[in-house]
């Protein structure tokens, strides 16, 4: 199965594996990853195929403005024992780059076929089912607002005689 087909198979299996209130997600797909989200793209769940590292990441990414991302990570830190117990395995909550944060774990990369698609869909659905109700609660309690999707900060270069560009 090709990567694109594999990720489509995972996405198609997800609704049946999620509780009814969580089945209406939005999604995006690129060559090596599937993202799904409920509010806005800066906060999304992700299945990321990392062939070179022979790993698959199952995670929740915060890729908005830095302070927004750090607010989410700080809020989720209080729930880590609950989330780990509910999922039955360790999770990493980290400042992933200088601006993005994530909650994730990895599994070994497997053959891209129906059985592995079912496993990956099950793992992603379990993460969503455990974490999304917590996110909803945190959003209500702390009033964390929307953030736009961001990329890495851009460095400004000076060109001779032209000033900042």
For 126-161, what is each residue's pLDDT tens digit?
A: 999 999 999 999 999 888 888 887 766 554 344 444
Mean of per-residue pLDDT scores for the chain: 90
Q: Considering its fold, how many domains does the chain have in total?
A: 1
| C-alpha–C-alpha distance, residues 146 and 49, integer Å | 27
Q: Is 113 helix (H, G, I), strand (E, B) or coil?
A: coil
User: Is residue 133 in a domain?
Assistant: yes
Q: Is 135 helix (H, G, I), strand (E, B) or coil?
A: helix
- Domain of 139, CATH number, reads 3.30.1460
User: Is residue 31 in a domain?
Assistant: yes
User: Is residue 144 in a domain?
Assistant: yes
User: Is residue 158 in a domain?
Assistant: no
User: Is residue 125 in a domain?
Assistant: yes
User: Is residue 162 in a domain?
Assistant: no
For 86-116, the pLDDT digits (tens) are: 999 899 999 877 778 999 999 999 999 999 9
Which domain does 62 fall in, by range?
3-153
Per the CB < 8 A criterion, the answer to whether 135 and 75 are in contact is no
pTM, two decimal places: 0.88
User: Is residue 159 in a domain?
Assistant: no
């Amino acid at each position: 199965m090709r990567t694109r087909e594999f990720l489509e198979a995972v996405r198609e299996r997800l609704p049946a594996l999620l509780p009814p209130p969580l089945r209406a997600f939005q999604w995006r797909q690129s060559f090596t990853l599937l993202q799904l989200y409920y509010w806005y793209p800066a906060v999304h769940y992700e299945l990321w195929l990392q062939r070179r590292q022979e790993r698959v990441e199952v995670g929740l990414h915060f890729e908005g403005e830095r302070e927004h991302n750090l607010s989410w990570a700080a809020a989720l830190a209080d729930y880590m024992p609950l989330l780990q117990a509910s999922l039955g395995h360790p999770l990493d909550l980290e400042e992933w780059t200088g601006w993005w944060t994530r909650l994730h774990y990895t599994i070994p990369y497997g053959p891209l076929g129906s059985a592995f698609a079912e496993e990956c869909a099950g793992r992603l659905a379990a993460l969503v089912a455990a974490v999304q109700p917590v996110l909803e609660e945190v959003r209500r309690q702390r009033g964390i607002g929307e953030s736009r999707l961001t990329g890495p900060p851009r460095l400004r270069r000076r060109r001779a005689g032209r000033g900042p560009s």
